[in-house]
Amino acid sequence: MRGCYLGVDGGGTTTRFLLVDADLHPLAEAELGTTWFPQVGIDGAAAVLEQGIAQVLSMAGADADTIQMAFFGLPAYGENAQVARQLDTLPQAILGHARYRCGNDMLCGWAGSLACADGINLIAGTGSMGYGQRGGLGQRAGGWGDAIGDEGSAHWIAVQGLNAFSRMSDGRLPKGPLHAIVRQVFALENDLALCAHVYGDAVGSRTDIARMAALVLAAAQAGDAQAQRIYQAAGDELARIAIALRSALAFAPGEPVPVSYSGGAFHAGEWLLAPLRNRLHAAATEFDLRPPLHSPVMGAALYAQHLARVR
């Protein structure tokens, strides 16, 4: 069992764990809740990591000593230096060794979608951001959090949908399928009762709000013009991240720019991909939007193997 690699892909909604052998064949997988420290705290993140690592090791019949290298992609890592130092110490207490690296979960999406090759990955999960590499240079854009940005994310899509519902209720917009879908899903006696599902104790967390993006997708599929405009705007916003990264990474004119994607918002398929693709091609024909090669959690394992080779 020696030479195993552990990949951990944290997110605003779930954290995934993958243990692979030296040939990157999966040995065990697990999925638990978020490790987003602004929501669960350092202790909460540590508990998720400890439980997930224990699960995959138990399923594989292995122990922590068999892990040659691990990579922990954690949401919001690097945005608070003091917290990053705390997060850096968590795995050693669990693994009992220092053969690991912590970083932002954006690295998982990039490493998975492009197999660690030059290019840009767009993340649209609970939050949104982009990360790319070219010639050893790495650069990020977006990822400012829902209070500042996170445009194009599931949370952002959901908030735009809730806003459209409120306008439909008031008569500021014509009622479309979105209005009926929200009323039905939440069994609202009156429209204002939606506030009880968004505000107050134990409701309306960032994760809970992000899950409501599914209602906007259902409305778009049902022909709701406002919901369709929300997805159009989301694709445009994500394209702007890629356009900014192309410039920051100094891709030359005429040089192909691979772009891939990861995150739950992309479960919307062409509702999100079509406006993203159109906006990218309008900006530069060199953009090459392609499906991800691997999942972000496999990307974390790939990156762990990469780290083992270069350290």
What pLDDT was estimated at residue 2? 61
Residues 6+ apart with CB under 8 A from 202: none
Select from 249, 247, 277 the least CA-distant residue to 261. 277
- Model pLDDT for residues 241-295, shown as the tens digit of each residue: 999 999 999 999 999 999 999 999 999 999 999 999 999 999 999 999 999 999 9
Domains of the chain: 4-115+295-310 (3.30.420.40), 118-292 (3.30.420.40)
pLDDT at 40: 82
Low-confidence ranges of the chain (pLDDT < 50): none
**Other beta carbons within 10 Å of 229:** 14
- The C-alpha angle with vertex 14 and arms to 12 and 16, in degrees rounded to 5, equals 125
pLDDT at position 159: 97
Pairing of strands 26-33, 67-74: unpaired
